[in-house]
Amino acid sequence: MPYRSNEYKTIKKRKGVARSLLPLLMLLAGVALSFQVRAQTFTLSGTVRIVGEACMGTPKVVVRGSSLGVSVDAVGSFRLEGIPAGEQTLVAFCLGKKMAEQTLIVDRDTEGLEFVLADIENELEDVQVDGSRAESFAAARLASVENFGVYDGRKSEVIVLKEMVANTATNNARQVYSRITGLNIWESDQTGLQLGIGGRGLSPNRTSNFNVRQNGYDISADALGYPESYYTPPVEALERIEIVRGAASLQYGTQFGGMLNFRFRRGTEDAKIRLTSRQSAGSWGYFGSFNSLEGTVGNLRYYTFYQHKRGDGYRPNSGFTAHNFYTSLDYTFSEKLSASLELTKMTYLTQQAGGLTDRQFEENPRRSFRDRNWFNVDWNLAALAFTYNFSDRTKLNTRNFALLASRQSVGNLERINVADFGEERTLIAGDFRNFGNETRLLHWYRMGKETQTFLVGTRAYHGTTTAKQGWGSRGADADFRYLNPNDLEDSDYVFPNRNYALFAENIINFSPKFSLTPGVRLENIQTYADGYYKQYVFDGAGNVLVENRFDEELERRRSFLLFGLGSSYRQSESVEFYANISQNYRAINFTDLRINNPNLRVDPAITDEQGYTADLGVKGSKSDRYTYEVTLFYLRYFGKIGQVLRTDSVLFNDYRYRTNIADARNMGLEAFGEVSLLNLLGKDSERIKWTLFGNFSLIDARYIRTQDAAIRNKNVEMVPPVTVKLGSTARYKGLSVSAQYSYVDAHFSDASNAVRTATAVEGLIPSYAVADISAIYRWKSLALEVSVNNLFDEQYFTRRADAYPGPGIIAADGRGFYATLEMNF
């Protein structure tokens, strides 16, 4: 049987005790038996089984045509009491799944009823319960227990892709992540080849402050030594995107930002083969082709796709081409054992237009002063997972994963205010060989009257990164060959990393309303470095006077415990209060230590970061009307790694200095809400749907407890104090139209809060506001999507880069037009 999240059968059958309702008036002694039966009520119990991916929210079982209903508990069980005698129809439903129903004659207590909720394929079915219809929103949350993870008492967010009207062909992060609170998004990449998001004041640089996963396993370059994501799954292939905040550190590792998981479609169970073809075209020569096959044959369920896209880019010298292949196979051996195999291959080559100074950007943000900068990525992933059900209450999942990948960049890294005279380019190459295993055991048990959930897991991870930097050719093409491969001019290192962890969490339900979730993680981290780097002394004309080579062997071993505690109080089925606090830890990146960059220098004594995160929030929803969440958070750093502006004592050039600059604290308010207007006003309509959402965040992030007066009480870099995102979606029959507005407040790019510098590597990132509009029309097996990105052609930027794709200001794209034709067979 395929892997089924939230598929929990009854732990222990509970006998229902019939409750007799004596007639109020006993006028006749010989009442017929049938009338007596009809005057009684009974108890019905059973299980709800989720097939395929988890549903959005909590499943429910209701009696059609009445107000009787109940939520399904964490193990998939339900118990309906007070059911009148006679013919009754029970309906089980959950957002994102097809409803299931059973009609039965109720004349006694009944146990063992079973409902199966399967995936919805290309349609949203109505769930009619007493005249109301379930409404699906594009934002949802993870269940308390899901996909061998525990999320009770913490903040989680889920983006439901099929409910979004957005430009998915280009992975437009501004639109896709519009409902996620507290995010700062870098828009410096063509059509979503790389994702750059940071949450709650953390740097968006290649999403490195999140533990980034695909279907539950690592996909970043090196989770410890180099946690940067050069590969981003195509949104067209995703079912949903899951984000769990800093409290995820106990289950997924030591990142302060939390966990980001891309969950792919798993293939339809309704057909042996189904083909989807999407062809896209847009501004600046963009073309994209996405083609997928899926189906179920016997016990085998499969999904595979190939994507190709290319374009010339918004600015000159920014063309790109990309290829992406993925396949997944799910096989059910028996009721107890199932397995899945996944393979991913992604390559892309892009030219990089380089950065701009502030003056150059103000004059013309589309200009380019670099035509010799290139970037190349080759990403290969494999994963093999097994799920074994020991019993109805004990399940085991083990995931084995491997990454074989490389990234290469060649170009001129000099400051943008220095002309490119066609000399040897800087070539930086990295190779990544990572292997890991995560094994998790879930167990449900009874304590008192409540069902408890226990999760225990292990992690073993071996990563090896090689990082080289030397001279490349003088040419302008994508030539990734070193001029002197046996004696590189800058550095040549191997960085082995080892990580072993044991973690456990336990949901303790004291009552149906209140629960505590304590957790602990034992972490062992071993990082090594073996290689050499070179330093040079130049004369005033730039000639080398002295060349020194330094050979190094570095080793760092540390073991520590992380603790956390979450709590949840469910005031009602639609309102829940939660609070949590968890320790965090982030290892230094050895691969940053020896990159020779004229715009950046790294403190050789840099150390790991430590701290904790805390949340206090309330969330609620009513499936056909609204969903909302408001969270107060506090993030504390001890020895935060950051960048300060320094001046070279010889040439008096500004550069970034990366070190443990100070303790810091980020605190703020996040709020999100989405409503179905017509349902909220009591004007339900089968043909027209109209939703509105709002996403707000207020963040104050400061450096504290530092001896450096230049940054004391200064704003933490990359933290917009205010972000506002508003949107609306209207649906009429097969037509859906969505409009979105995004505002990001001004913020700084370094800890010294410099406003403007000559190199443009440091400085203010001004506030900006961007509007987008998208539409989809579906007719039978066809769909047409159109979108206008940056509707009012706002000229803005989100990033000042110190290296690739800069250095300097990286202009965001102007107004762009896109169209996609989708065909299903």
DSSP symbol at 356: B
Per the CB < 8 A criterion, the answer to whether 633 and 612 are in contact is no
Look at residue 132 in the predicted model and tell me its pLDDT. Answer: 33
For residue range 707-727, what is the model confidence (pLDDT) as tens digits? Answer: 788 888 899 999 999 999 999
Helix H segments across 39-112? none
Nearest C-alpha neighbor of 798 from the set 99, 185, 28, 151: 185
Is the model's pLDDT at 808 over the cut of 80? yes
Per the CB < 8 A criterion, the answer to whether 8 and 76 are in contact is yes
- 17 pLDDT band (50/70/90 cuts)? very low
3-state SS, one letter per residue, for 573-594: CCEEEEEEEEEEEECCCHHHCC
Residue bearing tokens 């080559």: 349
Mean pLDDT of the chain: 86
For residue range 236-281, what is the model confidence (pLDDT) as tens digits? Answer: 999 999 999 988 888 998 788 999 999 999 998 889 999 999 999 9
Q: Do domains 33-134 and 261-456+463-545+688-824 have the same CATH topology?
A: no
Q: Average pLDDT for residues 100-105, to the nearest whole number? A: 86
For residue range 774-807, what is the model confidence (pLDDT) as tens digits? Answer: 999 999 999 999 999 999 999 999 999 988 788 9
Cβ-in-10-Å burial (0-12, 13-18, 19+) of 618 comes to: middle
Is the model's pLDDT at 334 over the cut of 60? yes
pTM of the predicted structure, to 2 decimals: 0.84
Q: How far apart are CA 69 and CA 132, in angstroms?
A: 13
* SS3 of residue 182 by DSSP: coil
- 126 pLDDT band (50/70/90 cuts)? very low
Q: Where are the domains of the chain?
A: 33-134, 261-456+463-545+688-824
Question: What is the CATH code of the structural domain delimited by 261-456+463-545+688-824?
Answer: 2.40.170.20
Is the model's pLDDT at 57 over the cut of 80? no
Q: How far apart are CA 533 and CA 490, in angstroms?
A: 6
- 363 pLDDT band (50/70/90 cuts)? very high
Q: How far apart are CA 581 and CA 586, in angstroms?
A: 17
Q: Average pLDDT for residues 80-107, to the nearest whole number? A: 82
Look at residue 653 in the predicted model and tell me its pLDDT. Answer: 63
Question: What is the CATH code of the structural domain delimited by 33-134?
Answer: 2.60.40.1120
Other Cβ atoms closer than 10 A to 200: 27
Q: How far apart are CA 441 and CA 451, in angstroms?
A: 16
Chain CA centroid to CA 756, Å: 33
